[in-house]
């Protein structure tokens, strides 16, 4: 299992405790155990640091919850960095949305050499020109991804809060999977399944299927470097409004 590291202010960091949300609900552990153990253990691959950077006003508790699930899913240390400013040039005032490729550019500029991957957590709605909105987008060549919390909110009660965190974790792991060269999956239970709706996303959870877990382990070990190099430079997870 990985560990969560919480920033104080860059470049200083300190270890943060895992919040009680995971232990109380049990959904994250259940999701990670939904599939049999893959032939390659992700956690046995060389140590990895994945960074989270909020874009906007994502709450510390939300970031900590996402970080905990990422640490478990990837066997990585997770660093939570300072807030990145949303570029005004990326905002379409008519749509009330931000252009996701522009946010990927911001993240690519902010990525540090010691970070294996950098994931942006945006609190604004995202789009690309040919679609109504996107949940997230990833660039495997530059090792960055972004996803939006804007459409993931559920009810105001405790159950709604747990569902929101579960959705956020699912989108985070899905987009990070793309940065390691993972494509969409035909298994509806796999986190790499392409979700057209929130209902489909809710059904798949945060676990990789055995095939994608093995591919992830190979990618992180460097065995699949040639294959990854032939993948498109950017991969979008896009969903039309239905």
Residue at 231 is within a domain: no
CATH assignment at residue 95:
3.40.390.10
Phi and psi at 129, nearest 5°, equal: -55, -30
Examine residue 207 and state whether it is found in any structural domain, yes or no: yes
> Which residue segment(s) compose the domain that 157 sits in?
3-226
Does residue 105 belong to any structural domain of this protein? yes
Per-residue pLDDT reduced to its tens digit, 119-168: 999 999 999 988 889 899 999 999 999 999 999 988 888 888 999 999 99
Residue 160 lies in a domain: yes
Catalytic residue among 41, 137, 175, 200: 175
Active site residue 41: no
Is 237 inside any structural domain?
A: no
Task: Locate 229 and state its tokens.
Answer: 């190099």
Each residue's pLDDT tens digit, 175-184:
999 999 999 9
- What secondary structure does DSSP assign to the chain, as a single string? --EEEEEEETTEEEE-PPPHHHHHH-HHHHHHTSSPPPSS-GGGSSP-EEEEEEES---HHHHHHHHHHHHHHHT-EEEE-PPBPPPGGGEETTTTEEEHHHHHHHHHHH--TT-SEEEEEESS-EE-TTSSEEEEEEETTTTEEEEESTT----SSHHHHHHHHHHHHHHHHHHHHHHTT---BS-TTSTTBPPSSHHHHHHHTTPPPHHHHHHHHHHHHTTTHHHHHTS-S-EEEEE---
Residue 240 lies in a domain: no
Least confident of 12-16, 181-185, 213-217, 232-236: 12-16
Residue 108 lies in a domain: yes
Confirm whether 15 is domain-assigned.
Answer: yes
For the chain, the domain total comes to 1
Q: What is the pTM assigned to this prediction? A: 0.75
Q: CA–CA separation, 26 vs 180, rounded Å?
A: 27
């Amino acid at each position: 299992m990985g560990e969560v590291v919480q920033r104080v202010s860059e470049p200083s960091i300190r270890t943060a405790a895992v919040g009680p949300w995971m232990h109380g609900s049990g959904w994250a552990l259940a999701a990670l155990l939904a599939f049999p153990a893959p032939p390659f253990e992700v956690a046995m691959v060389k140590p990895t640091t994945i960074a989270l950077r909020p874009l906007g006003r994502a709450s510390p508790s939300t970031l900590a919850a996402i970080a905990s699930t990422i640490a478990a899913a990837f066997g990585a240390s997770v660093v939570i960095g300072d807030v990145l400013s949303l570029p005004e040039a990326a905002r379409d005032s008519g749509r009330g949305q931000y252009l996701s490729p522009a946010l990927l550019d911001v993240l690519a500029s902010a990525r540090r050499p010691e970070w294996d991957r950098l994931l942006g957590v945006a609190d604004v709605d995202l789009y690309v020109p040919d679609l109504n909105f996107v949940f997230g987008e990833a660039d495997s060549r530059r090792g960055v991804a972004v996803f939006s919390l804007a459409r993931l909110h559920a009810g105001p009660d405790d159950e709604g809060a747990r569902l929101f965190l579960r959705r956020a974790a699912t989108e985070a792991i899905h987009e990070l999977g793309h940065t390691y060269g993972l494509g969409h999956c035909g298994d509806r239970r796999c986190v790499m399944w392409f979700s057209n709706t929130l209902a489909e996303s809710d059904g798949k959870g945060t676990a990789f299927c055995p095939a994608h877990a093995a591919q992830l382990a190979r990618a992180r070990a460097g065995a699949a470097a040639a294959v990854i190099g032939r993948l498109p430079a950017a991969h979008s997870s896009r969903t039309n409004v239905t």
